[in-house]
Amino acid sequence: MPSPAAPSRTVPSPAAVLELFKPITWFPPMWAFLCGVVSSGASFEGRWPFLIAGVALTGPLVCATSQAVNDWFDRHVDAINEPARPIPSGRIPGRWGLWIAIVWTALSLVVAALTGPWVFAATTLGLVFAWAYSAPPLRLKVSGVAGPFAVAFSYEGLTWFTGAAVMAGALPGAPVLILAALYSFGAYGIMVLNDFKAVEGDRRLGLKSLPAELGVDSAARIACAVMAAPQVLVVTLLFVAWDRPWHGLAVGVLLAIQFGLMARLLGRPRDLTPWYNATGTTLYVIGMMVSAFAVSSLSGAS
């Protein structure tokens, strides 16, 4: 018997478009933006329009755009790994996925331009990375190194820097820049874990993600090491360089718990990655905010 035909649609439903945008993925860049805002040490008074625009840009606009771009150019991989997604399932038909990505890119740029030059520059760079990650000819995601680093930089470092720079009205101080860089580097490990769900499709279509190239076990060990190392440096800086022992103790406790969770993850990384993302990754991002509060007084005093 012939296989059932895909749903026949000419226009995608709002529910399918929202699923394409993956709201659950908006949290990391929005959180990093807020960490940047806090780390600046600047008062929120009179800055609420910027804060609202910044949160909207980092989540429902730029991050949503990156998800649409990725799903369009990954539609052949998703047909293998996750055929129920909106594009391969036909719920977003024809070239609608591409047009949605283009329109959301333009809308993001318009909102960023209305928000200010710092935000417009950061938004433009973030969108460049979003397209370069998924779209030919660069398609950074074919590399197990360049791809995750591009996402980590865009989701964590760039948004942290933007929040701090605009709140302060100037280039952030060294502690803020160091934190943004360290937590951005550590987020590479989080991105590697996210690649575990697509190993089969990546191998069949030649995408050289770390799990596809090295195997899930080796990739998990690398991911854990990359997530832990920057946090060790943050704890050291909080104690030694920035005289914030209580914040350093808090981040150190969060890291110690992560070590225990990592030990369990490494026993069955393919099965336990969703569990670790809900536990260990949550502790990682809590440490980001603790660190942001730690340097806020240093930034405000500078």
Question: 178-200, pLDDT tens digit by residue?
Answer: 999 999 999 999 999 988 877 87
**How many percent of the chain have pLDDT more than 70?**
96
Helix axes 216-236 and 174-194, enclosed angle (nearest 10): 160
Q: Tell me the percentage of the chain whose pLDDT exceeds 90.
A: 74
CA angle 5, 80, 105 (to 5 degrees): 90
Q: Where does the pLDDT of residue 206 fall: very low under 50, low under 70, confident under 90, or very high at 90 and above?
A: confident
Say which residue, 207 or 249, is predicted with more confidence.
Answer: 249
Sign (positive/negative) of CA torsion 73, 79, 81, 86?
positive
Q: Is the pLDDT of residue 301 over 90?
A: no
Condensed to tens digits (0 to 9), the pLDDT of residues 3-53 reads 444 445 688 999 999 999 999 999 999 999 999 999 999 988 888 888 999
Given a cut of 90, is residue 271 above it in pLDDT? yes
What pLDDT is recorded for position 144?
87
- What are the tens digits of pLDDT across the range 83-110? 999 999 999 999 999 999 999 999 999 9
Instruction: Report pLDDT for 201.
Output: 73
β-bridge partners, 208? 143
Instruction: Please name which of 142, 137, 171, 134 lies closest in space to residue 36, comparing C-alpha atoms.
Output: 171
- Do the Cβ atoms of 240 and 265 come closer than 8 Å? no
Q: What is the pLDDT of residues 115-126, one digit of tens each?
A: 888 889 999 999
